[in-house]
Amino acid sequence: MSAGYLTLKGRDENEEGLDRKMTINYYGRMRLLLSLLPSLRIAARENGEGGFKPSVLSILAAGRESAAITKTLMEEGNLDLSKPGTFSPGNCERVTMSSSSLTLEELSLREKNIRFTHVYPGVVAGTGIMREVPPILRGVWSVLGPVVGMVAGAKAEDVGEGIFSLLHSGGKEGGNLFLGQWDGAGKDFRKAKFAGCKSQEEWDKERDSLRQGVWTWLGQVMGRVKSERINGLGLWSVEQ
């Protein structure tokens, strides 16, 4: 799952009343993943214990999560950023990145035989990510993008190979969840030092609360757009 784009617009609601960028970055990805879970479970059973684990990949921005912003918005009942004056590109990014990692962590705990990966690819030129910005900025990026990619980014082929490796290895720590950069490095949202908590035990407890809150919120959002349960998870499917 790698759909995404940059935009300078404010909140831009679709027909269901959901912000379009949040839908592409988070709601739509999770809807697709949840709808495919039955097939992933079948694949895992057929491969047997110790066999190849089916993999789920979300290419977005692991390492750019924010526990503080997510917690504040959750306490305000505003994770969808629908309250006036709260939507901004920064808040949108932090909420969707945090929610993605927390939801994949929840699923990794429920589905031990499926591997989940949320990865940040860094700067990769030629992806069409600028298609929603004003024409003048697209023109500037068409010139500067390749230069930025060479200086601060990586070759698309290297990123692809790195991500492919992660899908099979799970990164340095193994397990069935990886959060970080395409090369296996980067910030892991599960580590206390990246969340500003004094101890790992404290962060684990707080993250459990955040994870359950995001899981419940996702179900509520999907419930607003279509009243049909999916996959036995107590979540609701989005109208197709």
The rounded mean pLDDT for the chain is: 81
Instruction: Output the CA torsion sign for 131, 132, 135, 139.
Output: negative
| Residue 118, both tokens | 């949320």
pLDDT at 180: 86
Instruction: Output the CA torsion sign for 213, 215, 216, 220.
Output: positive
pLDDT, tens digit (0-9, with 9 covering 90-100), for 217-236: 998 888 777 644 444 455 54
Instruction: Give the pLDDT mean for 31-57.
Output: 84
Per the model's pLDDT, the better-predicted residue between 197 and 25 turns out to be 25
Residue 165 has pLDDT above 50, yes or no: yes
| Residue 174, both tokens | 């193994």
Residue 13 has pLDDT above 60, yes or no: yes
Is the CB of residue 238 less than 8 Å from the CB of residue 31? Answer: yes
pLDDT at 163: 85
Helical H segments across the chain, by residue range:
20-22, 28-47, 67-75, 89-110, 135-152, 156-169, 192-195, 200-225
Instruction: Give the pLDDT mean for 45-59.
Output: 80
> Rounded to whole angstroms, how far apart are CA atoms 135 and 100?
30
Residue 237 has pLDDT above 50, yes or no: no
Band (9; pLDDT cuts 50, 70, 90): confident
Instruction: Give the pLDDT mean for 67-95.
Output: 91
Per the model's pLDDT, the better-predicted residue between 72 and 148 turns out to be 72
Band (76; pLDDT cuts 50, 70, 90): very high
| CA–CA–CA angle 165, 169, 170 (5° rounding) | 105
Q: In what order do the strands lie in the sheet with 115-120?
A: 55-59, 115-120, 177-181
Residue 195 has pLDDT above 90, yes or no: no
Q: Return the minimum-mean-pLDDT range out of 96-100, 149-153, 173-177.
A: 149-153
Band (182; pLDDT cuts 50, 70, 90): confident
pLDDT, tens digit (0-9, with 9 covering 90-100), for 106-159: 999 999 889 999 998 876 655 666 666 667 776 776 666 666 666 656 677 788
| Residue position matching structure tokens 């990145």 | 97
Instruction: Output the CA torsion sign for 79, 239, 57, 202.
Output: positive
| CA–CA–CA angle 81, 218, 237 (5° rounding) | 125
Q: What end-to-end distance do the CA atoms of the chain give, in Å?
A: 17
Sequence ranges of the domains in the chain: 20-236
Residue 198 has pLDDT above 50, yes or no: yes
CB atoms within 10 A of CB 38: 12
- Helix (H/G/I), strand (E/B), else coil: 106: helix
Residue 174 has pLDDT above 80, yes or no: no
Q: Return the minimum-mean-pLDDT range out of 145-154, 161-170, 191-200.
A: 145-154
Residue 211 has pLDDT above 90, yes or no: yes
| CA–CA–CA angle 228, 113, 42 (5° rounding) | 55
Instruction: Give the pLDDT mean for 60-71.
Output: 89
Output the pTM of the full model. Answer: 0.83
pLDDT at 210: 94
